[in-house]
Amino acid sequence: MKRQGSNWLALTKRAEAAEEQAAPVFRSIDGIAERNQWKVIDAFQKHRVSDFHFNGSTGYGYNDTGREVLDLVYADVMGAEAALVRPHFVSGTHTISCALFGLLRPGDELLYITGRPYDTLHKVIGKPGDGKGSLQDFGITYCEVAPLADGSIDWDTVSSKITERTRVIGIQRSRGYDWRASYTVAQIGEMTERVKALKPDVYVFVDNCYGEFTEELEPTQVGVDLMAGSLIKNPGGGIAPTGGYVAGTKHAVELTAYRLTAPGIGGEVGATLGTLRAMYQGLFLAPHLVGQALKGSVFGAVMFEMLGFESNPRFDAPRTDLIQAIRFKDAEQLIAFVQGVQRASAVDSHVVPEPWDMPGYEHPVIMAAGTFMQGGSLELSADAPIREPYIAYMQGGLTYAHVKYGVLNALAMLADRELVVIKPHTT
């Protein structure tokens, strides 16, 4: 892209004003990143991490000290009793699936109190008798309670839905493909306290994808029994080539491990095949890189708000995940935005994304993902289902400068196609 012309000049002037406006928010994010960085280093030091922990294993993976210590480090970082960190989790959805199948048994019920979960989990939950091995195919029933109009939990309905069969309460921390605010760790702590008061023996499970290190605490530090995430998102630091993690109580983690491998085997085996160095180093870098991505999201929110678009969260609102949602008036604007983000990528910038029927999604989806790790959403990416309301979801960015460049490219794309007018900024 040629960085010249009246639209680009007008955008760069607005960018200067946006950064001045966002400066106090940037300082707050830097403080959180710093404290999380120290927390990670403390965990490395406590467990005496050394270079031999990076060697990995083959075959069964017996006596893989690096794998065992990485579990301990993650448990400490997440404030949990135990953790299971493995390259054998192929995605966040797979990790969550293992957790839910580990906790639930035929005749149990899964109740999501934050509304319908992210699209890729719909097939995991399934329908009774669907024959594809979903939860409901195994006689596990499912129920959900939509949030109230303001995004808060509908506690009257939740109370009426919890029964003797309710075994797992599901909470999705991030907004997914919804316009609601993502749930903070403090809010998740309140949810956990209330559902435990209603049914003390229930497991509280949190989909923690996109949330790690955006706050100083994690859900397992406020009473959650189990949470799951992906290493090609926040905790992998843009370096882990694959994998996922679960953290929580020792019992809940053990049940998940039995589902990942086999009962009686659990987390005792599993060759790490040269992935450990990247998983350790990615975790070390993650607090800083998450901070970079958050600052980029704040910048994007300011820029789009300046030009009259609605963003969620607003630039100065508290943040608990990476995702920045932007509402467009039609599919044409939405597609131009995502294509503009792709054009700013270092990888595959020449590729023009188009909507397509992506596996696991119920509507055509367009994705900008010029990433070093395929699907790595700690790297700058954007995606959107092509449906009303026309909302795009931007996340990630290994450097603030890249996110800034992506936002400016996206806005320039909209202006070049005469889908938005970029007026010179006036003080």
Provide the percentage of residues in the chain whose pLDDT is more than 70. Answer: 98
Give the H/E segment covering residue 311: strand 310-312
Q: Is residue 236 part of a domain?
A: yes
pLDDT at 360: 66
Q: Is residue 279 part of a domain?
A: no
Spacing of C-alpha 318 from chain mean position = 16
127 versus 48: the higher-pLDDT residue is 48
What distances in angstroms separate CA 409 from CA 149, 180, 391, one per listed residue?
34, 27, 18
- The parent domain of residue 118 ranges over 53-272
Q: Residue 182's closest CA among 22, 313, 316, 29?
A: 313
Give the H/E segment covering residue 302: helix 276-306
- 320 and 361 in a single domain? The answer is yes
Contact partners, residue 105, CB within 8 Å, separation at least 6? 140, 167
- Given a cut of 70, is residue 18 above it in pLDDT? yes
Average pLDDT of the segment spanning 230-237: 98
pLDDT at 361: 73
CB 191 within 8 A of CB 227: no
Q: Strand, coil or helix: what is 144?
A: strand
- 267 and 298 in a single domain? The answer is no
| Tens-digit pLDDT profile for residues 277-320 | 999 999 999 999 999 999 999 999 999 999 999 999 999 999 99
| Tens-digit pLDDT profile for residues 188-216 | 999 999 999 999 999 999 999 999 999 99
- 203 and 85 in a single domain? The answer is yes
What residue type is assigned to position 368 of the chain?
Answer: A
User: Number of folded domains in the chain?
Assistant: 2
- Given a cut of 60, is residue 1 above it in pLDDT? no
Residue ending a domain, among 215, 248, 272, is 272
Cα–Cα distance, 86 to 230 (Å, whole number): 10
Residue ending a domain, among 272, 298, 324, is 272
Q: How many CA atoms lie within 13 A of 400 on its CB side?
A: 14
Average pLDDT of the segment spanning 17-32: 98
- Given a cut of 60, is residue 2 above it in pLDDT? no
- 253 and 377 in a single domain? The answer is no
- 382 and 333 in a single domain? The answer is yes
Contact partners, residue 319, CB within 8 Å, separation at least 6? 29, 182, 214, 294, 297, 298, 313
User: What is the pLDDT of the chain when averaged over all its residues?
Assistant: 95
Q: Is residue 425 part of a domain?
A: no
Q: Is residue 130 part of a domain?
A: yes
Q: What is the CATH number of the domain that holds 388?
A: 3.90.1150.60
Q: What is the CATH number of the domain that holds 145?
A: 3.40.640.10
Cα–Cα distance, 385 to 178 (Å, whole number): 11
- 29 and 152 in a single domain? The answer is no
Q: Is residue 348 part of a domain?
A: yes
Cα–Cα distance, 131 to 152 (Å, whole number): 35
- Given a cut of 60, is residue 151 above it in pLDDT? yes
pLDDT at 393: 95
Q: 423 falls in which pLDDT band (50, 70, 90)?
A: confident
Q: 95 falls in which pLDDT band (50, 70, 90)?
A: very high
- 30 and 73 in a single domain? The answer is no
pLDDT at 129: 82
pLDDT at 212: 98
Q: Is residue 424 part of a domain?
A: no
Provide the percentage of residues in the chain whose pLDDT is more than 90. Answer: 91
- 58 and 174 in a single domain? The answer is yes
- 309 and 268 in a single domain? The answer is no
What residue type is assigned to position 343 of the chain?
Answer: R
For residue 91, what are its two tokens?
A: 């995605």
Cα–Cα distance, 421 to 427 (Å, whole number): 18
Rg (CA), the chain: 21
Average pLDDT of the segment spanning 363-372: 92
Cα–Cα distance, 363 to 385 (Å, whole number): 6
Q: 426 falls in which pLDDT band (50, 70, 90)?
A: low
Q: Is residue 42 part of a domain?
A: no
For residue 87, what are its two tokens?
A: 């390259």
Q: Is residue 421 part of a domain?
A: no
Cα–Cα distance, 183 to 347 (Å, whole number): 32
Residue ending a domain, among 222, 248, 272, is 272
Cα–Cα distance, 186 to 171 (Å, whole number): 13
- 199 and 236 in a single domain? The answer is yes
Dihedral over Cα of 117, 216, 201, 261: its sign: positive
| Tens-digit pLDDT profile for residues 32-70 | 999 999 999 999 999 999 999 999 999 999 999 999 999
- 202 and 332 in a single domain? The answer is no
- 146 and 249 in a single domain? The answer is yes
CA dihedral 396, 95, 106, 82 (to 10 degrees): -110
